[in-house]
A and B are shown apart, each in its own frame.
Chain A
Amino acid sequence: MDPLRVHVDQWLLVLGIAAYVTAAFALFAHFLMRNPVLRAIGLPLAAVGCVSQFAELGTRWWMTGVWPLTNLYGSLSLFSACAVAIFLVFALRYDLAFIGGPVLALAAIALGYATTWNEGYMPAVPALQSYWIKVHVPIVITAYASFMVSFCVSAMYLLKDAAEKRYAQRHPTVRGVAASAGGNVDVPLSAYAANPLTGVVRTDTPALASAAAAGDATASWLTGLPSLAKLDVMQYRIIAVGLPLLSLGIITGAMWAKEAWGAYWQWDPKETAALISWIVYAGYMHLHTRPEWRGTRTAWVSVIGFVSIVFCYLGVNIWISGLHSYKM
């Protein structure tokens, strides 16, 4: 193997990890301090890491002629690169830079963990020698990556929601505007939390807003985050990217299985674990249609969904033997 290409591969990997770690620190600091300079440092670094990762996978393909996603190292590399790419798209389109810290940190952890599975350059086993691997694997990994980003938004939602409730307990009523009445009224916050369609105008996070107005520094910092409603919409939009991709991934996987083994569905642990994740996110989408379920409950469903993704992606492949095992 050409030593120059091996060096390029390794340098790109190091560059990717270094860029992610630095970007994670910068964006965490931006999250804490709201300093636009840190944002301006973090986002380009994230982009550099993402590009270097895609370049590294491309270099591997170029070096060996073997599609680089045939092992856990390759798929985890793509996972972290896709997660960062999805984050960047949403960060630029919807100003989501504040979740960059956790996303980049998880991407760096995934990539760091991937290196422990880097056995070197190996040809693909016969079952993986199919054009389907170039279709099925990137689709599924992109779906997983989008669920990782949505998980970070859900976690942010739940944190802010918990803070909101804590502040609400201190100040039992907030000044709201009853839209139907067209005037100002005092509305118990518990009622607001229980039913977001009571006609109360959303002042984003009312308890936080009132505490911030009273000079509470933490509340003031928390109000700088997007409103709960906006976080909920963001979470929905990212899951709306992931769920069709997961569906397509399951369908292409079934088509590949049909071609390789003669059956769409073999009840292999990986297939069934992916089905569980699909069910959880399908449940999320159904619950999200109900105003009374939208918000905290759907955020928890999103968190459960990501746990199921981790189980499906790593747990099943590593600990449960089956057709998708990395260790038998």
Chain B
Amino acid sequence: MEARSGGRVASRALGALRESWDDLVRLFAHVPFGVSLLAAWAFLTLIGVIVEQGKDPSFYAAEYAPPLARLIVRLDLGNIYHSPAYLIAIGLILCSMAAATFTKVIPRRIPRLNPVKIDAIPLHARVRLAADPESVRERLAAFFAARGWQVRKREFGGAEWTFADKNNWARRGVLVAHLGFLIIAIGTTIYWAKGYSGQFAVLSGQTATIPENGATIALHRFAYRIDPIQTKAGTVYQPIDYVSNATVTGKDGLPRDAVIRVNQPYDVDGTLIYQATYGFAIDFRLTRDGRPVPVSDHPLKEGEGFVIPGTSRAIEYTRFVGTIDRATGQPAADPRPNDPGVVVQAFDGDRPAGSALLALGQPVDLGAGYALTAQRYILYSGFQYRYDPGIPVVGLGALVLLAGLCISFYFLPARLFVLARDAGGGVTEVGIAATTVKGYDVFEERFGEIVEDLRRSEPVGDTAQAGARPVLESA
């Protein structure tokens, strides 16, 4: 007895659970709900566009009003694309897409052939043809077939219906588009699972290794070209070319000459090496009372620095200046190294203690007997590398997505319901109604043309109708 009652409770609970699940699926498959999720996604993305991403709290404090800066920091709006809210929005959209695909897109694409109340369909017309119903049906079938319609006949309750379909295959356009998203997602997952990426900088004359595949890149020379261009606003120094001449050695151990430019990555064993950036590394010389003090075992790149031994002070190399205007002592507009210098920032502990522009080769007194000289610059090249086995899959997904969009937008699946009935006196009245997957308005013009065409091609049973436009009753 107890077991039976327990079973009933379990069955009732299961039924309630199933009902709740069905409600949830219905909600997720509901188009306005899906669009609401899209709107939420767009809103969160807009925040990411407006609020600069990936900055320190101090940046927001400096850039925005205090309440806004606090809001950005507290809600982590500076990292919105990786925030739980953003990921949840995308997850819910994928769930909505899946629910709509499985409950609406797949099952209801090809509706059954059933009779309809022709006059109840907003897009309908009546044509009276001079022939008996049987021959009219045959002629109608030939008429529609000749115009690319797929014609099928069915009998319902003694009445023979003719159904004409066009672009039925295009009913799967939305499914194809959704499939495209799925394939793209698979492609990006392949990268996450098997791919890798990274970046490194190599000074001219030095060699770097890609740790993931062991390939080496020896940079012989990095060169750039910046041209002064006369514009209406004055002289603009326009970058024209960045090029790295290197020797790349892959798994086979054979060194190969490589010329790597922006937009022209070099492929080594499936890993692409990209020209990403460049800079001027500086050899600094620190002396105390004229004696050299070791500071760094390598030339410093922008953003790097050193601590002055035995003090709480540090020096950071901030940026390279191509040309110092000798008249003003300030950086000139020309970025090319004609009369170069470097901007350095001094720190006392964590506190900035001032900055200075040093001409190359000229020492500057740091106090306490210390002197700093920026001796020379060495060009370095910044590379990115990436191995992405998911590229073909993502490309395929993009093609499928586009194909789905084009099928959905440019091929309109339509069905004509045609019923020919004897109207007496050797005349057959043909009722035609049309439905499409995108409502009636979008097909109204075409429907009018079809009916008009039918009137013209067939002998009409009523002379008053011969030249009249079809009466289209569309909502």
Chain A residues engaging chain B, CB cutoff 8 angstroms: 118-120, 122-123, 125-127, 129-130, 132, 177, 179-180, 182, 196-202, 229-230, 232-233, 236-237, 240, 243-244, 247-248, 251, 254-256, 258-264, 267, 269, 272-273, 275-276, 279-280, 282-283, 285-291, 293-294, 308, 316, 320
In the complex the two chains form, is A280's CB within 8 Å of B42's CB?
A: yes
Interface residues of B in 33-89 (CB under 8 A from A): 34-35, 38-39, 41-42, 45-46, 48-50, 53, 81
List the B side residues contacting A232 at CB < 8 Å. Answer: 441
Q: In the docked arrangement, what's the CA distance between A122 and B236, Å?
A: 9
**Most central of B408, B437, B438 by chain A CB within 10 Å:** B438
Q: Which residues of B contact A127 (CB under 8 A)?
A: 262-263
Kindly report which residue of chain A lies nearest to residue B39, judged by CB atoms.
A283
Q: Does any Cβ of A come within 8 Å of B229's Cβ? A: yes
Could you say which residues of chain B place their CB within 8 Å of the CB of A259? 263, 265
Cβ-defined contact, A316 with B239, below 8 A: no
Of B319-327, B394-402, B421-429, the stretch lying at the interface with chain A is: B394-402
Q: Which 5 A-B pairs have the closest CB atoms?
A: A240-B409, A126-B262, A130-B263, A119-B231, A262-B386
Say whether A262 contacts B409, CB under 8 Å: no
Q: A229-B474, A262-B272, A276-B42 are known; give 10 further A-B pairs, CB within 8 A.
A: A123-B240, A125-B238, A125-B240, A180-B119, A244-B405, A254-B398, A263-B386, A264-B394, A283-B38, A290-B32
* CB within 8 Å for A251 and B398 given contacts A122-B236, A236-B442, A263-B386: yes
Asked whether any CB of chain A lies closer than 8 Å to the CB of B220, the reply is no
A199–B122 CB distance below 8 A: yes
A183 to chain B, nearest CB (A): 11
- Which of B49, B242, B406: most chain A Cβ within 10 A? B49
| Inter-subunit contact A201/B38 (CB<8 Å) | no
CB distance from B333 to the nearest CB of A (A): 14
Give min CB distance, A194 to chain B, whole Å. 13
Q: Is A197 in contact with B122, judged by CB distance below 8 angstroms?
A: yes
In contact, A290 and B386 (Cβ under 8 angstroms): no
Which chain A residues lie closer than 8 Å to B35 at the CB level?
A: 283, 286-287
Closest residue of chain A to B82 (Cβ to Cβ) is A267
Tell me which of B120, B265, B475 contacts A200 (CB under 8 A).
Answer: B475
17 A-B pairs, CB-CB below 8 angstroms? A120-B232, A123-B229, A179-B120, A179-B124, A230-B441, A237-B442, A244-B409, A247-B405, A248-B402, A258-B391, A262-B197, A262-B272, A276-B45, A276-B46, A283-B35, A285-B408, A287-B35
Q: Is the CB of B49 within 8 A of A273?
A: yes
Minimum CB distance partner of B35 in chain A: A283
Residue of B nearest to A267 (CB): B81
Beta-carbon contact of B241 and A126 below 8 Å? yes
A263 to B276 Cα, complex, angstroms? 12
Residue of B nearest to A289 (CB): B31
Q: How far is the CA of A286 from the CA of B34 in the complex (A)?
A: 9
Which positions 417-475 of chain B face chain A at CB distance < 8 Å? Answer: 437-439, 441-442, 444, 473-475
Shortest beta-carbon distance, B264 to chain A, in Å? Answer: 8
A147 to chain B, nearest CB (A): 14
Chain A CB within 8 A of B384 CB: yes
